[in-house]
Amino acid sequence: MARTVTPTELFAEIEHGHVPKILDVRNVEEFESWQVEGSRPVETQGLPIWRALDAVDDLARDLPDDTVLVCAQGNGSELLVDMLAERGKPTRNLTGGTAAWAQLLVPRPLAGLPEGMVGWQLQRPAKACLSYVLGVPGHGAVVVDPARFPDPYVELATEHAMTIRYVVDTHVHADHVTGGPQLADGVGARYSVPLEDTGGPTPFPNHPLEDGQQLDLGPVQLEVLGIRLPGHTPGTTCLHVPGHALLSGDTVFVRGVGRPDLTGKAEELARELFHTVHERLRPLDPATQVLPAHWSSTEEIGADGMVRTTLGQVFESTLMNEEDLVRFVAEIVASLPSAPAIYDTIREVNSGRTVSPEEIEILEIGKNQCAASTTT
């Protein structure tokens, strides 16, 4: 029987540098679309299964021991692991393949929150997406920018005797299908996504956050406020815990800012982003930790495994200090690569368009491409 490693185990091993190599035996197109990536770089090779089977003797000679083999569902790679074992080469199969990896959410505790509040950053390595749970043990919680897999959020809340009262999407996402409306419906929470992004009323209940609106998480006096930060999208509304944390959605990242072109209004939204940067973000406490909704590369993951920065560090970038509106807009627009063609469809789905589970799986292939770079 093939030796195996689960997605959770593989993520931890990558983080600790215990994975010598990943051999991905999906077809070329699938491999080029996205690969298994964790919080640290790992040598990864793509070799279609039919070629790998023909080259099994060479692989048995050349692969490092404990190489992890990957395919879409874990079946072809399992066969290859067994064949390599027969030749004396110990390798391992990723259980469930990339389909299972795509659903992995890794919760990491958040530090630096007010006394009485707990929180987690949930990392989804297949998409380089981040979501959050903030709450008061024994009372209420809010889930921000959730993936479409509800169990990890519900489990965290239950473990700490918290009721999920709010589910917030900071904006209509273009890179992944949200689980927000379904999670809110399942736990009886209030769901919020900006109407400016959905284009009007949605087929699911929606209570958009107002600028400055306070979320009631319990009797502990903690401020969790909605804060409008348009620029990536027209209606982006994030969460601010004054003096402690800004859950910034796609407005600002560890490196870079949110691309403003995904709604077809690049220059208009780049101007909005300029005003957001100078009027809404610059006056905030520079020690505030910035907790974004994405990362673009492993360089944005800290030594503690967290994806975060501070507003002070954000404003060290040349572009974020640019005070000329025209130059700011020009630099942002010039940095933009072409957006994936499926992003318009994903935005429609997140605004209420119904598609099949099979279509959702296709729409979710590949890492996010939501950032515009900044000059540092």
Q: Which CATH number covers residue 195? A: 3.60.15.10
pLDDT at residue 376 in the model: 43
Residue 375, pLDDT score: 44
How many domains is the chain partitioned into structurally? Answer: 2
Residues 33 and 60 in one domain: yes
Tell me the C-alpha distance between 227 and 207, whole Å. Answer: 15
Whether 344 and 222 map to the same domain: the answer is: yes
Give strand ranges (E) for the chain: 4-5, 22-24, 44-46, 67-70, 91-94, 106-109, 118-124, 129-135, 140-144, 163-168, 190-192, 225-228, 237-241, 245-249, 257-258, 289-292, 309-310, 371-372
Tokens coding 225: 């406020």
Same domain, 116 and 236: yes
Amino acid at the residue 65: D
Q: Burial code of 167-202, b = ≥16 C-beta within 10 A, e = fewer?
A: bbbbbbbbbbbbbbbbbbeebebbbbbbbbbbeeeb
Catalytically active residues, by annotation = 71
297-345 confidence digits (pLDDT tens): 888 999 999 999 999 998 887 677 778 888 888 887 877 777 778 889 9
Of 51, 86, 101, the domain-final residue: 101
Q: Are residues 193 and 256 in the same domain?
A: yes
Pair 82, 111 in one domain: no
- Distance (Å) of CA 338 to CA 236, 261, 371: 21, 9, 12
Same domain for 145 and 43?
A: no
**pLDDT of amino acid 316:** 84
CB 251 within 8 A of CB 240: no
Among 55, 80, 101, the domain-final residue is 101
Q: Are residues 118 and 171 in the same domain?
A: yes
pLDDT for res 374: 47
What does DSSP say about strands 289-292 and 245-249: parallel, antiparallel, or unpaired? parallel
Alpha-carbon distances of 208 from 38, 242, 248, 353, rounded to whole Å = 34, 20, 16, 18
Maximum Cα–Cα distance across the chain: 66
Same domain assignment for residues 179 and 111: yes
Residues of the chain with pLDDT under 50: 374-376
- Residue-by-residue DSSP string for 140-155: EEEEES--S--HHHHH
Residue where a domain terminates, one of 43, 76, 101: 101
Structural domain boundaries, residue 362: 106-372
Give the Cα separation of 295 and 131 in Å (integer).
Answer: 11
**183 and 44 assigned to the same domain:** no
